[in-house]
Amino acid sequence: MQTELTPLANSRVEQETVFESRYANSPNEVKGMNTDQLRQNFLIENLFVADQFRWVLSFFDRYLTGGVMPIAEPLTLEAPDQLKAAYFLERRELGIINVGGPGQVVANGTPYDLEYKEALYIGQGTQSVQFSSHDDANPAKFYLNSTPAGHSYPTRKIARADAEVVELGSMETANHRVINKLLVNSVLPTCQLQMGMTELKAGSVWNTMPAHTHDRRMEVYFYFEVPQGQSVCHFMGQPQETRHVWMQNEQAVISPNWSIHSGAGTSNYTFIWGMAGENLDYGDMDFCAINDLK
């Protein structure tokens, strides 16, 4: 893996942006990786640091995964040098889900209050985006996904009541879960970014099982609401050549388009899925029979 970690100076002394690039990996390359190499290439460990933007750019579909936790003062989204853009959303769209305390996002002067598990889509061409928390003692944690975009769609908040909700699985197979489709084309228009949130019921631990791949889309999973002292084991790789990555609360993992993406926890938990690629067909999945996984 080749990466670059670049702190970016800002007009405010307190604000900093940390940016990391990760190259894409082939299935043959991943077959030979040890535990540390898998984690270095695919695991995103520290997304929320006080008064920092933290970004990881994956060269799979140039997907950006990030987080910001404003405490001291509002933080302004700026374009890292690596984007070669006049402003962050010059050629990108942005999805935001708040996984912390109440906060506010101001996009081109319009404020949007986001409670826990509420989402906001911001369209390409939005020049000014600012993040703040309502309570410094209980700061907002804005989980961020961004993809390239070629068309400007309206900025829109998606509350829990606005989501398209699907209930899947069962207690008998330990995968009883509720899927909340938040930023998907059945709810609002986007260029290629899709985001949603899956909540596992008490007693269930498996997500996305049976597993699947989709050659036309990559994906990122962000695990949260993992109880203290518990963990999630995330499975990835080709269906007949799987690998696993142990993950902790508020960590994310990159899933290439050729890889399955599934997990099992030592407790129930919630995760956010984000996708990008050449289509917006949520059902574009090539399922893998459970007994065929290796």
Output the CA–CA distances (angstroms, integers) from residue 112 to 118, 188, 259, in the order listed. 10, 17, 36
What does the alpha-carbon distance between residue 48 and residue 247 come to, in Å, rounded to a whole number?
15
Scan for tokens 């906001």, then name that residue: 120
What does the alpha-carbon distance between residue 269 and residue 275 come to, in Å, rounded to a whole number?
20
Output the CA–CA distances (angstroms, integers) from residue 155 to 68, 140, 143, 224, in the order listed. 19, 20, 17, 25
How many C-alpha atoms does 116 have within 13 Å on its Cβ side? Answer: 7
Return the amino acid letter for 189: P
Query: 176 a known binding residue?
Result: no
Query: 212 a known binding residue?
Result: yes
Query: 219 a known binding residue?
Result: yes
51: left (phi over 0), alpha (psi -120 to 50) or beta: left
Strands 16-22 and 52-58: parallel
CB 59 within 8 A of CB 20: no
Scan for tokens 């579909």, then name that residue: 61
CB 217 within 8 A of CB 257: yes
What does the alpha-carbon distance between residue 126 and residue 22 come to, in Å, rounded to a whole number?
26
Tell which residue, 270, 251, 150, has the closest CA to residue 202.
270
E strand spans, 9-50: 16-22, 43-44
What does the alpha-carbon distance between residue 60 and residue 242 come to, in Å, rounded to a whole number?
19
Residue list, annotated binding site: 212, 214, 219, 261
Query: Binding site for Zn(2+), residues?
Result: 212, 214, 219, 261
